[in-house]
Structure 1
Amino acid sequence: MRPVEALLRVLREEGVSKVFGNPGTTELPFLDAVVGAPDLEYVLGVHEGAVVALADGYARATRRPAFVSLHVAAGLANGLAGLLNASRSRTPLVVTAGQQDRRHLAQDPMLSGDLVGLARSAVKHTFDVRHAHDLPLALRRAFALAVRPPAGPVFLSIPMDLLAEDTDVELPARSAPPPPSVAGGVPRAAGLLAAASRPAVVAGDGVGRDGAVAELVAVAEALGATVFHQPMHDRMDFPGTHPLHAGALAPTHAAIREALAPHDVVLIAGCHAFMAHHYTPGPAIPASTSVVQLDSDPDEIGRNFAVAQGMVGDLPATLAELARELTGRVPAAAGRAREAGRRHAERRAAHRSAALAAVAKAPMDARAAALAVADALPPEAILLEEAITTGVALRPLLRLERPDAFVHTVGGGLGAGIGMAVGTALGSPGRPVVALLGDGCALFGLQGLWNAARLGLPVTFVIASNGEYRTLKETLDGWGSRATAARHYPGLDLAPPHLDFTVAAAFFGVDALRVTDRDELAEVVAGAAHRTGPLLVDVPVLGHTPPA
């Protein structure tokens, strides 16, 4: 079969039914082949940033690798932030870009470039396909690598003339993935955890990604252990309604160390490097705390801290075995759980009281807006958060239970939220999606609204609009007194005038409204359960108040 036919055959056999892309001249041989493949839907995006974000959300929702087609060096460059997000969040993507025609590539023609060099730092692996007979094997490897721990995006550079060749190539058969296996060392790990007097658990995003939430709950309950979400978690890795849930760790070593100091043994499951953000001196793990670490990626074990017991294996299978080893072995578990539940209920009540007391009329306090979203979110909804400061206010108020109910990215590439929300809805038919976005984040990814309108998906975009980069102002305040004394924050203001996101929504063909208070916002969010198309909600919120 011809190279382009082999490409389509691999896509079908790997379960691909949608191609996410923005085509150019170097992708025309592929596009021409897709024209004759009605079973492959081409999902067009009007900017590569939105394209990769769409694919990221879709891959997470379907738990399968998504296929992305970008356009030469410039299109790849536009998509790099999304690829960085996918790498950090361990999202499996297979990404191609069309390279210029090999017959004049040495002459440095327009559109050409070092595609592999450009992609290398943002993806898990790269393939520079130079010969037609290498393409089918490279594609098979790319799909296998994308899902192998640690999962992530894999990139292939494919010259346009290669796909147009009338050359017979061999198609290697698809290999079944290896069956899940229990990690070694479970009995010793169970012994260390059972002997602990004050155990804790850190639920990493690998738990939610690999579908191991129920198994981790069983382990925590067998121990009566306090459970923390990893810092800046981008999935729901432990039920927010569970009495043992203590919320998320803050993203600094000092804050993590303080939270873990009362605990003598901590189980860290599926957590990449603890995701510290701002630097603070000292280690994340207190000297008095022993670590049992479980991950599907062998490179994570002992990567940033010493472990008393490291385990590499399938998270659901290993946690299930660990729960069996611990069940009935820790008599103190029930009492610990009662005490933890009391403490955690008090913490949640304090956050809720503060949000209830906050300004609820627009421009409202970010805590009031967060409370409206958290309280009104339909039970079956998926919440996507890219709101920075309003997101910080939201997380302690959430009471999510379903393992797939929360989407975020720890990659730091702003602008993913709108596209990821659309991709999530595309991969989760029948479920409403509510996206809480900051105005700065939304400005980075407005092109995704075009897809929301074109696909008509039930996504409610809630944009918390404070007209500034508030998180940077707050961080700048901590660097000294020069900026605060003059009340001047250069380059950190988006307004005045107020950014009217309803106008932006209208341009793309998305219905929109602006809310005036917390109750109105709650009513709109609750209506997501019955929405049949996209809606953008402009929510004016208060900006930063400099310290006196």
Structure 2
Amino acid sequence: MTGRRPPLATMLDILHDEDVHTVFGNPGTSELPFLHGLVGDPRFEFVLALHEASAVAMADGYARATGRPAFVSLHIAAGLANGLIGLLNASRSRTPLVVTAGQQDSRHLVQDPLLSGDLIGLAGAAVKQTFDVRRAADLPILLRRAFAAARRPPAGPVFLSVPMDLLADEIPIDSVGPSSVSPPGAPEDLASAVRLLAEARNPVIVAGDGVGRAGAVADLVAVAEALGAVVYHQPMHDGIDFPQRHPLHAGMLPPINAAIRAALDAHDAVLIAGCHAFSPHHYSPGPALPAGIAVVQLDSDAEEIGRNFPADAGLVGGIRPTLRALADRLAGRVSEAPVRTRAAARRHNAARADIDARARLKYGSVPLHPLAAVHAVTAALPDEAVVVEEAITAGVLLRQVLRQDQPRSLVHTVGGGLGSGIGAAIGTRLGDPSRPVVAVLGDGCTLFGLQGLWSAARYQVPVTFVVMNNGEYRTLKETLDTWHGRTGLRPVLDLSPPQLDFTAAAAFFGIESVRVTDTGQLTETIAKAVRSERPLLVDVPITGHNDEEPL
């Protein structure tokens, strides 16, 4: 085919071919040419955010829910800077995003025009790869490369800088063809890994977030059951990588090397599947793994193998086909597996009953103990619910009582950038409208992303936003506890007075709200809200760091 057409038309055709139906953004003048073409095209929906951080967070949740790259349009250098926190989160969580920002008109960039900036330099530290589009004819092929890079292991966000004037040019109609990324298969040589795991006296598995991203939860279950191996989630896991009610599930490893080492010390072999390094939070001396343990490490990213600890058997390949191959080769080989599974079930069921009992002992009126509050929330969740967690200290307690088995039932980010929870919850529900979404948020995290409520109201996205309101920077106070009397900062770490009233904030953005008075009302409110077709904010007053008895 011959002839020429505007690059914007080709760009939109590529987006559609790459299975993009929804574009998230906060546009400005340099993105007007793109937005003008986009909103007139019935193949796409544009979801508007009041702030770029909300746009990126919504796209992150959407990409995880759909399992394909999401597309984001940001505005110039300042808008990209606003979106960097979400890009850092997406990079750490390995969420595939394709992000663009409109650069100033290239014909006068040499004059340092208003709003221009070093977009590539700004984005470089926060994304997997950058693409600087200099010619209109290069836009289609660089856009294709961006989608391929976002998907290729390790997945992550990529960025394109697109000068606004290039979209008014013309390029050949057939300037670029389709592209694709073939998923990696299983390694050919699994013999060493199978031998190490099958011959272990007490094997253990660490389920990393790569398992959930690859849709390989059922395959990891098959490996665990073939071995009778207990399974820990990686520290601060971003999703459901192993069913939390399964008898072999031992909970989450804490994000401290010494605690991980203690949890794994009784085991002589470990399968670490799709886990990025362990990513400890607070420092402790020594490695994460106990001495002498045999390590089988599996990842789709070759750079992960042996990165932070030696691997006796390193497997580079697709996580799902590799786990399936391991399960097939281990099936029926370990005669002790049923006995190990029954013993693990007794231990784990007792531990779950104990934490549930301790939570119920804390039930009562507001302010609620945070363990009672998160337990009351989980009591109302249907099996198909998705929990978006950005609650920091309450979130750690939530993981102790959460019982989610279905893949993609938990959304979290280990990126460290606060304020993603509201946007991620909206994007999650937009990406999969068939599943109710409950966002459990800290009050500080809510404040960082509060403007996202506007998008929930505008598009009537039925998400239940649960704000754990303790009026303080509790995580910092808990850290101070380890500093032996250094308490001078405590008054600075309180957020009240004035009292934070999130029902007033919800009303400002047009969201219905409830301020609960006891644990029974909290459970009842959540149970009703997950069946609603409208967004709801639930303000949950909880006790502060100095106002409660220890668990």
What TM-score results when the alignment is normalised by the length of structure 2? 0.97
Work out whether 1:543 is the aligned partner of 2:551: no
Match of 1:161 among 158, 165, 186: 165
Equivalent residue for 1:527? 528
1:509 aligned residue: 510
Query: 2:20 matched to 1:22?
Result: no
Aligned length in residues? 545
Shift of 1:374: 1.3
Q: Is the contact between residue 133 and residue 169 of structure 1 (CA under 8 Å) also seen in structure 2? A: no
The correspondence of residues 12-411 of structure 1 with structure 2, limited to 5 A, is 12-168=16-172, 170-411=174-415
SS at match of 1:491: helix
Asked whether the 8 Å contact 2:31–2:75 carries over to 1, the reply is yes
Deviation track 1:82-129 (CA, whole Å, cap 9, x = no partner) reads 000100001000000000011111111110000000000000000111
Corresponding residue SS for 2:242 = coil
- CA offsets per residue over residues 475-529 of structure 1, 9 Å max, x none? 111122121xx6x515311112320000000010000010001111001111133
Deviation at 1:6, TM superposition (A): 1.5
Runs of 4+ in 1 over 2 A off after TM superposition: 166-171
1:185 Cα shift?
A: 2.9
2:438–2:530 Cα contact (<8 Å) kept: no
Q: Report the Cα offset of residue 242 of structure 1.
A: 0.3
For the residue of structure 2 that corresponds to 1:53, the secondary structure is: helix
Superimposed CA distance per residue, residues 154-182 of structure 1 (whole angstroms, 9 cap, x where no aligned partner) = 00000011112234464321123325411
Q: Give, as a single letter, the amino acid of the residue that structure 2 aligns with 1:385.
A: E
* Cα separation, 2, equivalents of 1:56 and 1:199: 35
Q: 1:540 to 1:163 in 2, by over 3 A?
A: same
**TM-score of the aligned structures, taking structure 1 as reference length:** 0.98
Residue 39 of structure 2 contacts residue 45 of structure 2 at CA under 8 Å; is this kept in 1?
A: no
Residues 169 and 493 (structure 1), Cα distance of their counterparts in 2 relative to 1, 3 Å cut = farther
Question: Match of 2:392, as an amino acid?
Answer: I
| Per-residue deviation, 1:212 | 0.2
Q: SS state of the match for residue 530, structure 1?
A: coil
Tell me how far apart the structure 1 counterparts of residues 33 and 438 of structure 2 sit (CA, whole Å). Answer: 38
Query: Structure 2 vs 1, CA of residues 96 and 287 (structure 1 numbering), >3 Å: closer, same or farther?
Result: same
Cα distance per residue 1:35-70 (max 9 Å; x no partner): 331211111101001000000000110111000000
- Is 2:468 aligned against 1:467? no
Which letter maps to 2:526? Answer: V
Letter matched to residue 296 of structure 1: S
Matched position secondary structure for 2:222? helix
Report if the CA contact (8 A) 1:266-1:291 is conserved: yes
Instruction: Tell me which residue corresponds to 1:458.
Output: 462
Distance 1:497 1:472 in 2: 20
Instruction: Quote the Cα distance in structure 1 between the aligned partners of 2:405 and 2:170.
Output: 53
1:54 maps to amino acid: M
- Matches of 2:428 and 2:288 in 1, distance apart? 33
Can you list the C-alpha shifts for 1:415-442, whole angstroms capped at 9, x where unaligned?
A: 0000000000001112211010000000
What CA distance in whole angstroms lies between the structure 1 residues aligned with 2:378 and 2:130?
41
What is the Cα deviation at residue 328 of structure 1? Answer: 0.7
The secondary structure found in structure 1 opposite 2:182 is coil
CA distance in 2, matches of 1:140, 1:490: 52
SS at match of 2:204: strand
1:211-262: CA deviations, max 9, x gaps?
0000000000000001000000010000000000000000011111111101
Equivalent-residue separation in structure 2 for 1:290 and 1:240 (angstroms): 25
Equivalents in 2 of 1:524, 1:509: separation in Å?
A: 19
The amino acid of 1:470's aligned partner reads R
Give the 3-state SS of the residue equivalent to 2:530 in structure 1. Answer: helix
Q: Aligned equivalents of 2:170 and 2:241: distance in 1?
A: 49
Q: 1:169 to 1:121 in 2, by over 3 A?
A: farther
1:478 aligned to which of 482, 494, 497: 482
User: What amino acid is the match of 2:456?
Assistant: A
CA distance in 1 between counterparts of 2:238 and 2:405 reads: 15
Q: CA deviation at 1:404?
A: 1.5
Helix, strand or coil: the match of 1:497?
coil
Q: CA deviation at 1:452?
A: 0.7
Name the Cα RMSD after superposition: 1.3
